[in-house]
Structures are given as C-alpha cells and as structure tokens.
Chains A and B, each alone.
Chain A
C-alpha cells in the first residue's frame, strides 16, 4: 500500500467520523428544539394536545437514535485503538514452493494462527549399523 493511498484512507475515515458526529449532534439539538416548541399545554384543547403527544414521541425516538449513533462512533474509535495494539500479520502460502516440507510447515502455521500451538517436528532417526566382526 502506498503512502498517499494510506493517507487518503486516514483522511476519509476522519471525515466520515466527523460527519457522523455532526449529523447526530444536529439531530439531537433540532429534535430538542421541536419538543420544547410544543411542550407547553396551556390554552390548548384535547384535539390539539393529542397529535402533539405523538409528535413528542417521534422526536424523542429520533433523539435516542442520535445518541445511539454517538455511542456507535465512540465504539468504532475504541476498536481502532484496540486493534492498533494487536499484531495483524498473517502467514502467506506460496503454492509455487517446490519444497513440500516447507509448504506443510506454512500450512500448519496458517491453520494454527493465533492458537499458540507449539510445533513439534519429528527428529531425524539416525540409522546406525552394527559393527561386523570379521573372522580372521
């Protein structure tokens, strides 16, 4: 990955997060204002108050969703910092490798990635010939 592409991705992520924060904040403030505009019940009959109750409920739900959006943004940021501390290296398999033992070891590492399994390789058995006694 080139440096310019990496920087572009960082800027794009920052813009996306800021956009989410701005949208949620704007929603919270506008819905709060809408609720306060119709909160007072003095001088109103029941036919006016009844639909306003539903309006207040809708605005309240919208505020709650905006707050949940802010929680989601904070969760995303938290996950970025947490994954920054972890290693994301991953073994790759080169299928053009002619050495089958090497391919086998790579596949075993791939299968046991992050499982903390120690690889035990069998020791090469040494064949020793018994000394022959020649008759004189």
Chain B
C-alpha cells in the first residue's frame, strides 16, 4: 500500500533519514519505535509528504506521490493523520471540526457529514460534545476527536505521530483503546509511539529506527523477546 524507495531526508547538513526502503502492506499495523531524534516522526511525515523527502520516492497504491504531477491533496484524503498536539481547529466546534474536510472537499453533503459526525461521536461516547469547542475538552477527548476527524474521510491508512505523548497518564488508555479498536477492524496503521505495551498488543510488525536507519524489524515478539541489535537491546533496557 505504501512503499518508500531510497528515501532520504536531511535538514541542512543533518541527515535524518538514510536511504529507507520499506513496504507497508494493507492491513498491517506497523509500530515504529526508537530514541528521540532518530528520525521516526520524520519517516512518518514523509509518508504523506508533510515533510518533503530530499531524495527518493514514496509510492501510495502504486502511485508515485513524490512525482511533481501527483495530486498530493487527493492522496492525502486517503491517509488520515493524528498528531501529538491534536491540532484540532480551536475556532470551530467539535462537529464542525469533523465535518470540515468532507464537506469542503465535496465528498459529502452537509447533512451526510453531520450524520457521519454524529455516528462517529456516538462511537467514542462523546456525542454530547458535538457543539463544544476544543478548549473545553480534556486531552484524551481532544485526541479521540482528532482520530475520528481523520476517520470521517474514510482513509485507507492512518498515520499516528506519537498520539499519546502529550497526554496526562490517566488519558493515555482511552486513546490507545480507540486505536486498538481501529486495528481490530482491519485499518492499516502506522504508529510512532513510546507505548511499548501497545506495540506488543496491537502491532503486527515493529520497526526500530536509529540514526535514520531501520536497524531492526520483526514481529513484536521477535523485537521485544529476542532483540538482536545491540542498540535495540540498549534502547529496550531503558524503556521497558
């Protein structure tokens, strides 16, 4: 579904991603782990071109989206993204947040989008917050709404960029539960996270990135119970 070929990214002289070749298949739940500054967020953001690769290609459903003529906006509609800082639109109500993209992009009528928003809000048990503004919500509520805002576009893949890192500890669970639910329903997911238990439970494949290279990748069992690379061992001994 998503493929990167010789993906490089550097900021100035700082090489952040070093020649990454990786294929993500439909239905996979990829969890990316690694120390801070290792390039895992940059890798994720290159997948939907929020970060422009310095060289190399990103293919989505066989289309080269790094190509100059590719319609990136169209392709992004199929790639939902959830951010560490939620990035809800503070000047709109929760419902408007969810309805905005489907309506403005002409995918749904206003009524359809409203129904969809209600349906999604009921699903996460926040239907009474439809008319609330983001600032009136807790962090966990904000992040769950950010997730369903992306879902309203019926994406084929969801990218999560450290979705629980900005949350108070007691709210991490509700967000991870929703993500696990999505995974159960068969959503293709790429998750950058520090939640190792989530990686173990939900991940189908774990990538360990360090210094811009995928140093080791394996099933969760393989990564956590039988790590081979020394840097992965060091990393795991610190976080587990």
Q: Do A and B come from one complex?
A: no
A interface residues, Cβ below 8 angstroms from B: none
Chain B interface (Cβ < 8 Å from any Cβ of A): none
